[in-house]
Amino acid sequence: MEQYTELYQQWLKSFGLPHNLTIIILVLSVLSVITLISLIVNKIAKAIITNAISNIVKKTKNNWDDIIVKKKVFDRLAHFAPAIVIYFITNISLNEFPLVLKTIHSIIYIYVTIVSTLVIKSFLNALLEIYSYSKTSKNRPIKGYVQLINIFVIFIAVILIVSFATGNSPTKLLAGLGAMAAVLMLVFKDTILGLVASVQLSANNMVKIGDWVSIPSHNTDGTILEITLNTVKIQNWDKTISTIPTYTLVNESFTNWRGMEESGGRRIKRSINIDMTSVKFCDEKMIAKLKKIDFLKNYIENKTEELEKYNKQYNIDNSILVNGRRLTNIGTFRAYIEEYLKHNPKIHDKMTFLVRQLQPTEKGIPIEIYVFSNDQAWANYESIQADIFDHIMAVVPEFELNIFQYPSSNNFNFKN
């Protein structure tokens, strides 16, 4: 190669060109030839690597190799070929021009650094997609860690590129960055906080992709779609997308409904307020009427028998209802709700089951239902809950009880 270069140089001098111009034309000509050769080599390398790898991948039954090809890992590896060709050819043809050779080598080093960064990034993206198909990915997302590695790789690449461009040692540049540590921490504050939060979320299994979470401080209520180093993407129930910082899930309180979803039941906790002025003892006429209700027949028979024994044992004067023990309309109403819910096929029979009376307030006596539905789907759950309270509100008058509500014009008779 050196002989051809010398012959070409002598041929240029034969035209009587100045020495400096001869050198410039020689260098540009050599670089043009090298560039052309590198382009040809790049095409050949891509064709060989891409076709060969694609044929091998098509014959395998694995998905991971298809993903690596799709992410163009091998395509980008082919870009190393022209860099290698240029490096060796310039060493042979331009060794008489050390300054030009040094500049070309610096450009090659920068090019190789950029290609290496792209190859690593493609490989990490392929690795992330391969991992996403595993069962573990939902419980242990690694996207945040992959992003961190990408940032680290890019940071190293920038240091090397600056080093090759300026001719300074990378260690000197890193030493100089030590003085900028405070500035870097400020710039990458969210990244650092996100990294710590990602580790905590993953280590403590606090959230995973697909979890239903509620974050009142951010007005967010929906399913987690993605967890990255800096952000968590949540699809709300109205189909809007909320993006919040990852460290929010560590610094602020939130509700993860995963336990409810895994339990097989969904809690119904709602009360109906009874007007206290409508509470009274059941007389014989009311008992006879309520006894005809299927859900209350056994309860009333057993309860009246129990109360009669008690009153007889203590010689209670039954002429006054206040004496002894008596059935009340609100107690019988509560017993009815219990039996009604026990016979409801949509209520979970192996989870907490309560029908209780809460502390009376200025709004009446709350009768609270605390049970679990066996259907967790939101629409079905709301339908079950609505059906239960539709029925309860409809049967309240049968017990001669009144539901409390604030007075309105319908509660008064106005006379002219």
pLDDT in tens, 326-351: 999 999 999 999 999 999 999 998 89
Q: Which amino acid is at 228?
A: T
Mean pLDDT of 100-126: 85
Q: Does pLDDT of 133 surpass 60?
A: yes
Q: Does pLDDT of 416 surpass 70?
A: no
Counting Cα atoms < 13 Å in the Cβ hemisphere of 379 gives: 1
Residues 364-389 have pLDDT tens digits of 999 999 999 999 888 899 999 999 99
Percent over 90 (pLDDT), the chain = 31
Q: Report residue 53's pLDDT band, with 50, 70 and 90 as the boundaries.
A: confident
Most confident of 50-59, 189-198, 230-239, 259-268: 230-239
CA 178 to chain centre: 35
Please count the other Cβ atoms lying within 10 Å of the Cβ belonging to residue 273.
18
| Selection from 259, 214, 249, 253 nearest residue 228 by Cα | 249
Query: pLDDT: is 181 or 56 the higher one?
Result: 56
Q: Does pLDDT of 179 surpass 60?
A: no
Helices (H), 264-414: 284-290, 294-313, 329-342, 378-395
- Class of the 203-261 domain? mainly beta
Q: Does pLDDT of 250 surpass 60?
A: yes
Mean pLDDT of 133-150: 74
**252 Cβ neighbours under 8 A, 6+ residues apart:** 215, 217
- Quick one: pLDDT at residue 27? 62
- Class of the 266-407 domain? alpha beta
**67 Cβ neighbours under 8 A, 6+ residues apart:** 126, 129, 130
Residues of the chain with CATH 2.30.30.60: 203-261
Residues of the chain with CATH 3.30.70.100: 266-407
Q: Does pLDDT of 15 surpass 90?
A: no
Tallying the residues shown for the chain, one arrives at 416
